[in-house]
């Protein structure tokens, strides 16, 4: 018997050996005769290792070579805080920080010699959006909220977990431009319906804005957001590959199944600031809900022109909120050229917007929402110091759902089930577990923002001001934010901030 088994094993080994040799010979002939790749033509078979290592290189750097504070777009230390916050494990470390406070751009908060005692602390108050200007104003209860991520760009289990977690934590959820799905409503959270350039979910059969659908949506959403642009790709519409356009997504968006879903790069019916203000007033009157704008910022031009137009036409034409998306934003797919180089980062964009609103005496009328890699309490508290009223984050919540920064959001092969419609991969995202992590992340973000405020001598987070934070300019030298961005004088002509001239990015 043992002899027979030995013969069989020998035979199988011989067959396997011939198969391997055959594959190598096939590769050799294929590589040496092809004309596209110089490396393969000169080094057949062995040259394939170069492409293999190039593909795996970013993952090796992530886990083995990059330091805790080196990796992009989010370093390991940042991701670790989000993971701990989502798991409610606390953000306690020992033996000192790995954050280099000599690095230009680092944030340093100004500790008060007599921080606020426990008994003197106040809960951070909510803020009303659209008060006195619409039939159904909206109460924003949480400082930190879920930024726009379309159903389609992210999976149905991801949307369900976000909705249920938002319902528990009391924050709002932005639909993104992909329309309102049943999964957004599962958690009975506050929902902001985004009106993208393609009008997905709020369009008629011709692809134009549908007043009937807007009125129906107004029964279940708290506000509408007109998306002009997003930080990842200003000047280019959203892209959803056809492989991710399922029958359900096609039905919700009102588009053909299986075809690439590409939004126009701007609203066809909004070509200037007057068109924008007209559309805001129209949708608000039609729905009775607050209406805001989401946009990336290229310079002073847009916000100054908008403020001038509102002052000229009346505050009833103003957006109820404006969501500023920094150029470093980007939870979805975008051309690298735009992702790398288009629009201002939030550190420069936010102060410009706030200053223009303050100087035009519109800051109390228009709520400001900041977004752009603000996934930790320190970054969020910085935005409040500048003058933001709320913080939006998308990728922070993706991490809370289990995202490992695999950088495959656009390929439908997300290993954690967050951005894929592959049912096998979605199985790993257990809604009953992940929604708790979403709620934990919101609650711990708000809690630690308050902790920073108390250390600065503020009773709650909304008392944070620019003088409470310093920005590192060079090694061992920092400057107070109110010196870097001085408070403007309310009521002065907006054009006095900086002269408006084309191009707007001056």
Tens of pLDDT, residues 42-85: 778 887 776 666 666 555 556 555 556 566 677 778 888 888 99
246 and 363 part of one domain:
yes
Residue 69 · residue 99 · CB < 8 Å? yes
Peptide bond into 73 cis (omega under 30): yes
181, two tokens: 């799905």
Query: How confident is the model over 228-245, as pLDDT tens digits?
Result: 988 777 777 777 777 778
* CA dist., res. 5 & res. 285, Å (int): 83
* Averaged confidence pLDDT in the chain: 87
Q: What is the pLDDT of residue 494?
A: 54
pTM: 0.86
pLDDT in tens, 322-334: 999 988 766 566 7
Cα 79 to Cα 74, 76, 339, 405: the distances in Å are: 7, 5, 21, 9
* Alpha carbon distance 70, 379 (integer Å): 17
Do 332 and 441 reside in the same domain of the chain?
yes
What is the rounded (10 degree) CA torsion for 110, 324, 281, 216? -110
Shared domain check, 56 and 146: no
Instruction: Enumerate the β-bridge partners of residue 471.
Output: 107, 479
Identify whether 37 is part of a domain: yes
Band (pLDDT 50/70/90 cuts) for residue 343 is confident
> Can you say how many angstroms the Cα of residue 34 is from the centroid of all Cα atoms in its chain?
43
**CB within 8 A of 381, min separation 6: which ones?**
109, 449, 452, 453, 461, 464, 469
Average confidence (pLDDT) over 279-298: 96
Distance of alpha carbon 381 from the chain centroid: 17
Alpha-carbon torsion (434, 436, 439, 440), positive or negative: negative
The whole-angstrom distance between residue 354's C-alpha and the CA centroid of its chain comes to 20
Give the lowest-confidence range in 33-37, 268-272, 447-451.
33-37
In a domain, residue 46? The reply is: yes
- Assess if residue 281 is contained within a domain: yes
pLDDT in tens, 98-135: 788 888 889 999 999 999 999 999 999 999 999 999 99
- Cα 292–443–121 angle (5° rounding)? 95
Q: Is the peptide bond before 178 cis (omega within 30 degrees of 0)?
A: no
From residue 347, how far is each of 161, 170, 353, 478 by CA, in Å?
Answer: 30, 27, 11, 15
pLDDT at residue 20 greater than cutoff 50:
yes
Residue 245: per-residue pLDDT: 84
Interatomic CA distance for residues 130 and 320, integer angstroms: 5
The domain boundary residue, chosen from 65, 80, 107? 65
Considering the domain architecture, whether residues 30 and 161 belong to the same structural domain is answered as no
Q: Are residues 193 and 59 in the same domain?
A: no
Higher pLDDT, 279 or 250: 279
In the structure, what pLDDT confidence band is assigned to residue 259 with cuts at 50, 70 and 90?
confident
Phi and psi at residue 431, to the nearest 5°? -60, -40
The predicted pLDDT at position 490 comes to 82
- Domain assignment present for 365: yes
pLDDT reading at 353 higher than 70: yes
Residues 53 and 149 in one domain: no
- Max alpha carbon distance in the chain (Å)? 99
List, as one string, the DSSP characters of 341-392. HSS--HHHHHHHHHHHHHHTT-TTTSEEEEESS--SHHHHHHHHHHT-SEEE
- Do both 323 and 225 map to the same domain? yes
Q: How much is the pLDDT for 378?
A: 96
CA distance 125 to 164: 23
**How many CA atoms, within 13 angstroms, populate the side-chain half-sphere of residue 242?**
5
- In a domain, residue 250? The reply is yes
Last residue of a domain, one of 427, 446, 465: 446
Note the helical H segments in 238-345: 247-253, 273-287, 301-313, 336-341
Evaluate whether 255 touches 352 at the Cβ level (below 8 Å).
Answer: no
Judged against a pLDDT cut of 50, whether residue 499 lies above it is answered with no
Domain-embedded: residue 483: no
Question: Looking at the predicted structure, is the pLDDT value of residue 500 above 90?
Answer: no
Q: Where are the beta strands (DSSP E) in 82-137?
A: 107-109, 127-129
Output the domain CATH number for residue 314. Answer: 3.20.20.70
Q: Contact at 8 Å (CB) between 456 and 111?
A: yes
What value does the mean pLDDT take over residues 205-232?
Answer: 93
Residues 21 and 148 both lie in one domain = no
Domain count across the chain:
2
Higher pLDDT, 80 or 302: 302
Task: Say if residue 164's pLDDT is above 60.
Answer: yes
Does any domain span residue 499? no
Residue 291 domain flag: yes
pLDDT tens-digit map of 434-482 = 999 999 999 999 999 999 999 999 999 999 999 999 999 988 899 999 9
Average pLDDT rounded to a whole number, residues 171-176: 97
pLDDT in tens, 382-417: 999 999 999 999 999 999 998 888 777 777 888 888
Could you give the CA distance from residue 325 to residue 238 in angstroms, rounded to a whole number? 15
Least confident piece of the model among 211-215, 394-398, 402-406, 424-428: 402-406
- Whole-angstrom Cα distance, residue 497 to residue 299? 12
Quote the domain boundaries for residue 61.
2-65
Q: Of 65, 80, 113, which marks where a domain is finished?
A: 65
In this structure, the answer to whether residues 201 and 347 fall within a common structural domain is yes
Same domain for 317 and 429, yes or no, is yes
Residues 441 and 325 in one domain: yes
């Amino acid at each position: 018997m043992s002899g027979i088994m030995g013969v069989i094993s020998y035979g199988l080994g011989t067959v396997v050996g011939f198969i391997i040799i055959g594959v190598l010979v096939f590769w050799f002939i294929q590589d040496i005769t092809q004309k596209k790749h110089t490396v393969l033509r000169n080094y057949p078979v062995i040259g394939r290792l170069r492409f293999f290592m190039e593909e795996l290189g970013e993952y090796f750097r992530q886990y083995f070579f990059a330091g805790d504070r080196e990796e992009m777009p989010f370093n390991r230390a940042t991701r670790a805080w989000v993971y701990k916050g989502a798991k409610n494990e606390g953000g306690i470390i020992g033996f000192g920080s790995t954050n280099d406070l000599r690095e230009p751009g680092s944030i340093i908060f100004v500790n008060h010699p007599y921080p606020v005692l426990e008994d003197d602390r106040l809960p951070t108050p909510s803020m009303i959006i659209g008060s006195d200007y619409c039939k159904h104003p909206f109460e924003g209860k949480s400082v930190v909220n879920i930024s726009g991520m379309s159903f389609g760009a992210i999976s149905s289990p991801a949307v369900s977990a976000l909705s249920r977690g938002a319902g528990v934590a009391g924050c709002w959820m932005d639909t993104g431009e992909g329309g309102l799905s049943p999964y957004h409503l599962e958690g009975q959270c506050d929902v902001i319906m985004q009106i993208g350039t393609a009008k997905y979910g709020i369009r008629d059969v011709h692809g134009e804005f549908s007043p009937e659908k807007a009125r129906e949506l107004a029964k279940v959403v708290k506000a509408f957001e007109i998306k002009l642009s997003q930080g990842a790709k200003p000047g280019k519409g959203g892209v959803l590959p056809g492989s991710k356009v399922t029958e359900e997504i096609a039905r919700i968006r009102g588009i053909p199944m299986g075809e690439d879903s590409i939004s126009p790069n701007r609203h066809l019916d909004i070509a200037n600031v007057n068109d924008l203000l007209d559309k805001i007033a129209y949708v608000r009157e039609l729905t009775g809900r607050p209406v805001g704008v989401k946009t990336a910022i290229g310079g002073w031009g847009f916000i100054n022109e908008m403020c001038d137009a509102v002052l000229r036409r009346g505050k009833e034409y103003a957006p109820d909120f404006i969501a500023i998306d920094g150029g470093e934003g980007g939870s979805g797919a975008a051309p690298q050229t735009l992702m790398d180089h288009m629009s201002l980062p939030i550190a420069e964009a936010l102060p410009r917007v706030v200053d223009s609103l303050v100087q035009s005496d519109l800051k109390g009328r228009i709520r400001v929402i900041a977004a752009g890699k603000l996934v930790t309490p320190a970054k969020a508290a910085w935005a409040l110091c500048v003058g933001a009223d709320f913080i939006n984050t998308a990728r922070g919540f993706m991490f809370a759902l289990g995202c490992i920064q695999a950088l495959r959001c656009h390929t439908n092969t997300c290993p954690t089930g967050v951005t894929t419609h592959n049912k096998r991969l979605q199985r790993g995202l257990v809604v009953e577990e992940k929604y708790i992590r979403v709620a934990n992340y919101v609650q711990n973000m708000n809690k630690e923002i308050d902790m920073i405020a108390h250390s600065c001598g503020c009773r709650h987070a909304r008392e944070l001001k620019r003088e409470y934070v310093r920005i590192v300019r060079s090694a061992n030298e920092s400057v107070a934010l109110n010196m870097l961005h001085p408070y403007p004088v309310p009521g002065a002509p907006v054009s006095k901030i900086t002269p408006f001239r084309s191009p707007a990015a001056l």
